[in-house]
Amino acid sequence: MVHIRPLDVSDAPVLATAYTANWPFLAPWDPVRPDAFFTPAGQEARISGMLADRAVYPCAIELDGDVVGTITLTQIEYGPAQSANLGYWVAQAVNGRGVATKAVAEIVEHAFGVLGLHRIQAGTLAHNHGSQKVLANNGFERIGTARGFLFIEGRWQDHILFQLVNDDWQPA
């Protein structure tokens, strides 16, 4: 069973191990990471920083109780925008099994329900068809291409941008 839950600093050792084990699989999609990123101390510092930032909502993705990835809302903005950006990854061993699709569905429910957001945006590398399918399966619509959006694998790479809008949201 797939479930998301808020990250905790106690997740640092598990995430350090997961990132290290999955780095060959994740590297084509992620920015270059410093060596410290792959250590429990590096993950603890990263998680602590995210938890201290009110504009970030970081979660672990669990499958049958084991952490198999993360999913995070960033740049959470209230006021007229009521929006956030979405990012996620899952371990290679569970890739293609619907784990990311279910995790995205769960965080969307939380974002639109508990957090009261109106819009979620996500970007994928132009050639990341698997992630694009995850977003499409959750009702995200393609809104355009951001040229040179992120520095991945040593070069600026284009991303396809998607959004999901909660048309039922109304200000209180």
Query: pLDDT tens-digit profile of 33-43?
Result: 999 999 999 99
- Residue 8 domain-assigned (yes or no): yes
- Residue 48 domain-assigned (yes or no): yes
Domain that residue 31 falls in: 2-165
Q: Identify which of 162, 169, 92, 89 has the alpha carbon closest to the alpha carbon of residue 124.
A: 162
Q: How far apart are CA 90 and CA 128, in angstroms?
A: 14
**Total domains present in the chain:** 1
Tokens 């640092």, located at residue? 12
pTM: 0.94
pLDDT computed for residue 15 by the predictor: 97
pLDDT computed for residue 154 by the predictor: 85
CATH code of the domain in which 25 resides: 3.40.630.30
- Residue 171 domain-assigned (yes or no): no
pLDDT computed for residue 118 by the predictor: 96
pLDDT computed for residue 172 by the predictor: 64
Q: How far apart are CA 84 and CA 79, in angstroms?
A: 12
What sign does the dihedral 131-137-141-142 (CA atoms) show?
A: positive
Q: How far apart are CA 74 and CA 72, in angstroms?
A: 6
pLDDT computed for residue 153 by the predictor: 86
Per-residue pLDDT of the chain (172 residues; tens, 9 = 90+): 999 999 999 999 999 999 999 999 999 999 989 999 999 999 999 999 999 999 999 999 999 999 999 999 999 999 999 999 999 999 999 999 999 999 999 999 999 999 999 999 999 999 999 999 999 999 999 999 999 999 998 899 999 999 999 998 777 6
- Residue 79 domain-assigned (yes or no): yes
- Residue 170 domain-assigned (yes or no): no
- Residue 102 domain-assigned (yes or no): yes
- Residue 172 domain-assigned (yes or no): no
